[in-house]
């Protein structure tokens, strides 16, 4: 019962956050100089006031702000994000078309960063003065300090242009003919560099944090007790200490979702990955406000869902969290 109530509170809270995001975005766009009518007029090669007024009436832009906001919210609640005049299709459809590519990239990058980061952190915590430990420290600094788009371009130059192991851009080879596995392999090959690039930032963060927490945990009393009982060092580390050292890392990973989405924008641009990031960039350049609003909405949704998942993951790992609301 308690669990259900917790979930309900969380969901209610998530939805209200999302609505607040909607209001902020809509207000922001409304405050910006120029509106959709101007953009459309520009793409037509100019228009007089009469036509501008007609476009404004078509898009409901002649209504008072609060009414526009209200009708926008009402439409969003019915999953209608409006119509993109730049792509000439409904925004929801447009975004759902691009979303899987971004989700794939973001999910795999987070997963890779978490697994490799924790493994590196744990191994180096066991030998704090070993080679690997120094490597992790150095690597963490690199990951934090290198601009992610630059890392991407460096990998691109090294592994697509100089040694031609991976494709230069995109998500699939459109000329490819073959069965499911041929396509699967094709997408996987396209994924390698973008995923490594995006995970490089977070890998650094996670390995550093898990090294620190692991070292702290390994020095704690209960670990000493476990060792005194005569358990092997391996079993102490992986069965007892790891579970406790994990929760700060998961918390941090949860806080990174908005950074992951941001990083995805840059990585997608570098690798011409057909996801939300490239769509966001194009629609911002084209001033396609319905699409911009839709993407902001969806990315906030992604972050919120990510946070919820983190929350549940934390509860699974750390029983102390379960009692909290």
Site residues (vs another protein, CB under 8 A): 17, 20-21, 24-25, 28-29, 32-34, 141-142, 144-150, 153-154, 156-157, 161, 255, 258-259, 261-263, 265-266, 269-270, 280-281, 284-285, 287, 292, 295-296, 299-300, 302-304, 307
How many whole angstroms separate alpha carbon 164 and alpha carbon 161?
Answer: 6
Tell me the closest approach of the beta carbon of residue 302 to another protein, in angstroms: 8
Q: 209 or 261, CB closer to another protein?
A: 261
Please state the separation of Cα 265 from the chain's center in Å.
Answer: 9
C-alpha closest to that of 265 among 108, 160, 149, 151? 149
Tell me the closest approach of the beta carbon of residue 108 to another protein, in angstroms: 18
Alpha-carbon torsion, ordered 283, 289, 294, 300, to 10 deg: 90
Please state the separation of Cα 107 from the chain's center in Å.
Answer: 7
- DSSP codes, 259-307: HHHHHHHHHHHHHT--SHHHHHHHHHHTT-HHHHHHHHHHHHHHHHHHH
Q: 229 or 324, CB closer to another protein?
A: 324
- DSSP codes, 181-200: HHHHHHHHHHHHHHHHHHHH
How many whole angstroms separate alpha carbon 214 and alpha carbon 123?
Answer: 9
Instruction: Cite the DSSP H helix spans in 163-256.
Output: 180-218, 221-228, 233-235, 242-255
Q: 211 or 287, CB closer to another protein?
A: 287
Tell me the closest approach of the beta carbon of residue 125 to another protein, in angstroms: 14
Q: 128 or 178, CB closer to another protein?
A: 128
Q: 141 or 188, CB closer to another protein?
A: 141
Q: 55 or 155, CB closer to another protein?
A: 155
C-alpha closest to that of 159 among 124, 114, 202, 190? 190
Exposed, middle or buried: residue 301 (CB in 10 Å: 0-12, 13-18, 19+)? middle
Tell me the closest approach of the beta carbon of residue 282 to another protein, in angstroms: 11
Q: 14 or 231, CB closer to another protein?
A: 14
Tell me the closest approach of the beta carbon of residue 145 to another protein, in angstroms: 4
């Amino acid at each position: 019962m308690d669990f259900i109530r917790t979930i309900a509170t969380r969901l209610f809270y998530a939805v209200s956050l999302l609505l607040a995001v909607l209001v902020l975005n809509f207000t922001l766009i409304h405050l910006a100089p120029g509106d959709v009518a101007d953009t459309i007029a520009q793409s037509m090669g100019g228009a007089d006031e009469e036509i501008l007024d007609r476009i404004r009436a078509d898009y409901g832009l002649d209504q008072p702000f609060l009414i526009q906001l209200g009708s926008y919210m009402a439409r969003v609640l019915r999953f209608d994000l409006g119509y993109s005049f730049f792509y000439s299709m409904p925004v929801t459809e447009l975004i759902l078309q691009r979303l899987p590519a971004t989700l794939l990239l973001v999910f795999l990058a987070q997963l890779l960063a978490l697994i490799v980061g924790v493994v590196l952190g744990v191994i180096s915590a066991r030998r704090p003065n070993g080679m690997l430990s120094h490597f992790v420290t150095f690597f963490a600094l690199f990951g934090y300090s290198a601009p992610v788009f630059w890392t991407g371009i460096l990998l691109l130059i090294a592994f697509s242009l100089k040694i031609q192991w991976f494709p230069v851009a995109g998500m699939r080879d459109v000329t490819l003919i073959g069965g499911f596995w041929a396509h699967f392999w094709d997408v996987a090959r396209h994924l390698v560099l973008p995923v490594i690039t995006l995970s490089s930032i977070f890998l650094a963060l996670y390995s550093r944090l898990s090294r620190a927490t692991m070292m702290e945990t390994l020095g704690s009393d209960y670990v000493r007790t476990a060792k005194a009982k005569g358990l092997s060092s391996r079993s102490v580390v992986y069965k007892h200490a790891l579970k406790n050292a994990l929760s700060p890392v998961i918390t941090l990973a949860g806080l990174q979702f908005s950074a992951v989405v941001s990083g995805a924008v840059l990585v997608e641009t570098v690798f011409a990955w057909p996801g939300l990031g490239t769509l966001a960039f194009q629609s911002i350049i084209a001033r396609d406000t319905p699409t911009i609003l839709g993407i902001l909405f969806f990315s906030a949704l992604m972050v919120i869902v990510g946070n919820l998942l983190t929350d549940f993951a934390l509860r699974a790992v750390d029983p102390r969290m379960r009692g909290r609301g």
